[in-house]
Amino acid sequence: MLTSGASDLVGRVLAGRYRLRAPIGAGASGRVYVADDVRLRRRVAVKVLHAALADDTGFLRRFRAEAQLAASLHHPNVMAVYDWGEDDLPFMVLELLEGGSLRGMLDRDHRLTPAQAAHVGRQVASALDYAHVRGLVHRDIKPANLLFDEHGIVRVADFGLARALAEASWTEPAGALLGTARYASPEQATGTPLGARADLYALALVIVEAVTGTVPFTADTPVGTLMARTHAAISAPASLGPLAAVVERAGQVDPEDRYPDAATMASALADAAAALPPPGPLVLSGIHEVGDDPHPTQVGVVRQELFDQDQSDDTALFDQRPPRPTPARWPGLAAIMPAFVAGLVVVALAVAGIAVANAGDSGGRVAVPNLQGLQRLTAADRAARSGVAIDIRTTSSAEPAGIVVGQSPAAGSWASRGSAVTLVVSSGPRPVPIAQYGGKGAAEVKLLLADAGFVVGPDVVQHDETVAPNGVIGTDPAAGTPVAPGSIVKVVISDGPAPRTVPTITGPISYDAAAAAISAVQLKPVQSTDYSDTVPVGQFIRTSPPGGTPVPRDSTVTVIFSKGPQFITVPDVTNQPVENGAGLINSLGLVADIQGFQPGKKIKAQSVPPGTQVRLSTHITLTL
């Protein structure tokens, strides 16, 4: 059994596909590695869970279910799950995000401005809304699970893992409790089942820490932290500005007093962002190799948990020097010169002034809400509440049908009240034709279908005249059929040729005619003879197997013709003891009738003379 140590797994190839290169994160549940996908030739992140979890049946059952559900999530602010499996240890394959985590930024004393926190929080709330609508509660929102790509776009990681770990019978000394306590909602102290609003409470805590560097209600022990939150709501510091009201609403003790859903909280964050200056670029932490936490049980010590990462290039993987801060490129603001930034600030202030001036007009101007990642109906409702109309355009994309994948004007722009925002709505992935897989093994075909983005359904087994048993006939739908990725495709397996029914043949008939009828159904005729007391010599008697019997294709069918009655030569049994003589006659297929039977007495005469030819079963009378 492998351990969770980094040195044990570096260089290991999991599932024959993912080569682990170097550790880039560690936490209560496992360790994260940068890895090479040798099949698709791309760099990925692989999260390998601790060895003790591999023997925990409750955890593995929940892990498989949650991993499948997490892999089905497709949202701009949700970390993509590419694959999952168990190779001595359970693991998940994820997209590699090179911007590092919010935890890494805070550990380097790079706090967020309120505008930056509003921008990041709005993206996280959008991801939570997308997951909550699909019945998936995160349960472990914290800075270590908020990662950034190289442009500074945040992704929420570890959907479903917290729920799987809740069923595990094993915990590290740090355990799941440490990660839970720092960002736990009050209901976790009472054992109340967690709902979607627990994620909103945790997000409020993260926003406060991102701006101030401290987590509200953090006590010396996990239990103390949990209990402190059951007595009072989060009190937001004044430094949060317009964010304070959002944090305090989401940070209520009673879940019913918080925002009703993540979509509403995202709208509130958007309103707060509109009242703040434009966010400046983030200083990303990047990814880097990490070691074990020297103080895993201290609540006040911030760990590099799970996804704290920095540089991913080959030369930097083992560089222990602090990385040079990398400015994040906000969408549309990448590589902007300082003078241009100053100009944008002036323009933003001017636009804000115009908006204020127009506020008293009958029409007015409103901030365009962020509608990307939402379901079409949800986006329409949010747009209406924001005071804008929508114009729908559709396009094929990797997102599920009905998800908004683009909008114009962009979120945060000013628009006239009642004007239309053009939404680009996904019609689902573009159908692609299924390849021809005949001649390959079933296991290989299923792997190729999965790699092509299809869901492999249960096998279809059917007879085939040309493909050997257990060979692949094709797929259902058939090769060449355009099918959308994510659709169910079944592998059609051969059960060999269909059985044949032996023809029913009646005489009189010649052997050639009988053989032709048998050959016509791809059976092999063979001629034979047998005695018959009723069928004349040379006439057809029967087939073996009989007509109407199902047999495998190419089976042999014997066509039997008559040799006429069977004759037996009567032996001479006179002067023999009666037991011997009667036994000999019976053994030849004749019937011995004994008159005056006495044991050991000799036979004096027999009714049919010796040497006479008689039919089978003829009676011979023996006289003593």
Fold of 567-623: Trypsin Inhibitor V; Chain A (3.30.10)
Question: What's the pLDDT at 398?
Answer: 67
Question: What's the pLDDT at 152?
Answer: 87
623 DSSP β-pair partners: 595, 605
Question: What's the pLDDT at 262?
Answer: 95
**420-426 and 404-408: which strand pairing?**
antiparallel
Fold of 432-494: Trypsin Inhibitor V; Chain A (3.30.10)
Question: What's the pLDDT at 182?
Answer: 83
- DSSP 3-state of 363: coil
Which residues fall within 8 angstroms of residue 612, CB to CB, at 6 or more apart?
569, 570
Residue 282 phi/psi, 5-degree rounding, is -75, 150
Sheet of 404-408, strand order = 389-395, 420-426, 404-408
Question: What's the pLDDT at 165?
Answer: 65
Residue 366 phi/psi, 5-degree rounding, is -130, 155
Assigned CATH class of 338-426: alpha beta
* Catalytic residue ranges: 140
Fold of 1-333: Transferase(Phosphotransferase); domain 1 (1.10.510)
Question: What's the pLDDT at 105?
Answer: 93
Per-residue model confidence as pLDDT tens digits over 431-463: 889 998 877 888 889 888 888 878 888 999 999
Which residues fall within 8 angstroms of residue 347, CB to CB, at 6 or more apart?
none
| 500-562 is classed CATH 3.30.540.10 | no
Question: What's the pLDDT at 88?
Answer: 82
How confident is the chain (624 residues) per 10-residue block, as mean pLDDT?
Answer: 54 90 80 90 89 75 75 87 86 89 92 95 95 86 91 86 60 43 83 86 96 86 77 90 94 93 94 91 74 37 36 31 41 40 41 42 70 86 89 82 88 85 86 85 88 86 90 91 86 92 90 94 94 90 94 94 91 92 92 88 92 91 90
d(CA 244, CA 250): 10
Which residues fall within 8 angstroms of residue 512, CB to CB, at 6 or more apart?
none
Which residues fall within 8 angstroms of residue 131, CB to CB, at 6 or more apart?
73, 75, 78, 137, 138, 156, 159
Nearest to 456 by CA among 508, 482, 491, 506: 491
d(CA 90, CA 328): 33
For the chain, what are the domain ranges? 1-333, 338-426, 432-494, 500-562, 567-623
Which residues fall within 8 angstroms of residue 350, CB to CB, at 6 or more apart?
none
1-333 against 338-426: fold identical: no
For tokens 């390998």, the residue is 48
Per the CB < 8 A criterion, the answer to whether 482 and 454 are in contact is no
For the full predicted model, state whether its pTM sits above 0.75: no
Exposure string of 107-137, with b = 16+ CB inside 10 Å and e = fewer, is: bbebbbbbbbbbbbbbbbbbbbbbbbeeebb
